[in-house]
Amino acid sequence: MDTESLYKTAKLLMTPGKGILAADQSVSTMNKQLEAIGATPEAETRRLYRQLLFTAPGIEKYVTGIILYDATIRNHTDDGTAFVDHLIAKGVIPIIKVDKSTVPFEGFPGEVVTEGLDGLKERLEEYFKMGARAAKWRAVVNIGDGLPTLDSIKFNCMLLARYARLCQEIGLVPIVEPEVIYEGTHDLARAEEVTTLTLRTLFTVLTQYRVDLKATILKTSMVLSGSKNAKPSTPEEVAEATLQTLDNAVPNSVAGIVFLSGGQTPEQVTANFNAIGKLEKESGGLPWALAFSFSRGIEQPVQEVWKGKSENVSAAQQKLIEVLERNCKADAGQL
């Protein structure tokens, strides 16, 4: 295991003042997003959309890495340059989503398990050869009546551990993403309880299965009351609960922590991220670097400007840069 290279990549990914763009929507998710803006859901539209994102002038000032989907890492710009090569030339680290999404977890009603371990070693080797230097795997934790179960959390964490250790063997920094789902009627205290349990379990299992935490990035949900709870959490409440959870559950040795947007609106997630940045400053610093790694929280406004039309590409790229810049400011609590 080339630990020095892994540490170097992890450090680069967590460069202060920048974030990670998650552009790894699956084909079906991407198609739904295209349909929502009136664009044709087909391969060429998906390619044009990713090209719009990756060629936005100056994007490298705001992102250290971009998470790609399998079909995207194999795709290219209009002039035939592979997207990965284009990103590497800009100093942006290509990251690859390697899980194969979730399926129902038999015996555990309302819970899901992530697939994708079969043949993973060979896939990781191929992605490394293509130029990827980090990978992402998403597990899902639903909150509901009697949910989640500890058994389901543990099982998903074991899959994350197997994936993470394989990544490190091959030279990819694992981004471990146990997403505690925002959708639901749960309150803030329940979100904190579940996120704390999930993260504590995750790090126990990762350590047990010999994953090097210094070469691991955590991608986590912010801690907030559920989307259908009568009392939405204020940004100050989100910041306090999130930092308290991380303090209680994440070992200091972890290379960095990034946040997903998880269905919060772009305005909401940026306001919450800004409050986290402010509280981080007030607390005099944390053991880990924090950054954003939003997909919907960044891309929704871009898609609304683009609408699938070539005449809107430049305006959509400007919108992307504007949203990224706002989130970089929020990272420092400066909004």
> Which sequence positions are flagged as catalytic?
177, 219
Which one, of 332, 307, 326, lies nearest residue 268 by Cα? 326
Total residues contacting ligand 13P by CB under 6 A comes to: 11
3-class secondary-structure state, position 21: strand
Through-space distance between the first and last CA atoms of the chain, rounded to whole angstroms: 41
40, exposed or middle or buried, with CB in 10 Å at 0-12, 13-18, 19+? Answer: exposed
Measured from the CB of residue 1, what is the shortest distance to ligand 13P in angstroms? 25
Task: Tell me which of 294, 301, 302, 327 binds ligand 13P, using CB under 6 A.
Answer: 294
Site for ligand 13P in 18-37 (CB under 6 A): 22, 24
Task: Tell me which of 18, 50, 123, 138 binds ligand 13P, using CB under 6 A.
Answer: 138
Measured from the CB of residue 261, what is the shortest distance to ligand 13P in angstroms? 3
Task: Say whether residue 292 binds ligand 13P (CB under 6 A).
Answer: no
Q: Using the minimum distance from each CB to ligand 13P, give the nearer residue, 152 or 261.
A: 261
Q: Which two tokens stand for residue 186?
A: 């749960």
Angstrom distances, CA of residue 108 to CA of 96, 102, 150, 319? 29, 13, 11, 42
Q: Using the minimum distance from each CB to ligand 13P, give the nearer residue, 253 or 263.
A: 263
Measured from the CB of residue 221, what is the shortest distance to ligand 13P in angstroms? 8
Cβ contact 293:63 at 8 Å: no
Q: Which two tokens stand for residue 162?
A: 């197997």
Cβ contact 233:225 at 8 Å: yes
Q: Using the minimum distance from each CB to ligand 13P, give the nearer residue, 184 or 284.
A: 184
Distance CA 245, CA 249 (A): 6
Q: Please identify, among the stretches 26-34, 275-283, 291-299, 327-335, the one whose residues bind ligand 13P according to the rule CB under 6 A.
A: 291-299
Q: Using the minimum distance from each CB to ligand 13P, give the nearer residue, 79 or 268.
A: 268
Window 165-184: contact mask with ligand 13P (x via CB under 6 A): ------------x-------
Q: Which two tokens stand for residue 218?
A: 């955590």
Q: Please identify, among the stretches 29-37, 122-130, 227-235, 289-297, the one whose residues bind ligand 13P according to the rule CB under 6 A.
A: 289-297
Q: Please identify, among the stretches 8-16, 100-108, 163-171, 292-300, the one whose residues bind ligand 13P according to the rule CB under 6 A.
A: 292-300
Q: Which two tokens stand for residue 230?
A: 């009568």
Q: Which two tokens stand for residue 223?
A: 């801690």
- Please report the DSSP string for 178-231 in residue order: EEE---SS--HHHHHHHHHHHHHHHHHHHHHTT--GGG-EEEE------TT-SS
- Please report the DSSP string for 43-55 in residue order: HHHHHHHHHHHHT
Q: Using the minimum distance from each CB to ligand 13P, give the nearer residue, 207 or 300.
A: 300
Site for ligand 13P in 297-316 (CB under 6 A): 297
Q: Using the minimum distance from each CB to ligand 13P, give the nearer residue, 207 or 298.
A: 298
Measured from the CB of residue 30, what is the shortest distance to ligand 13P in angstroms? 12
Measured from the CB of residue 306, what is the shortest distance to ligand 13P in angstroms? 17
Which one, of 287, 247, 294, lies nearest residue 273 by Cα? 294
- Considering Cα of 87, then 89, then 90, then 95, what sign does the dihedral take? positive
Site for ligand 13P in 244-273 (CB under 6 A): 260-262
Residues that bind ligand 13P (CB under 6 A): 22, 24, 138, 177, 260-262, 294-297
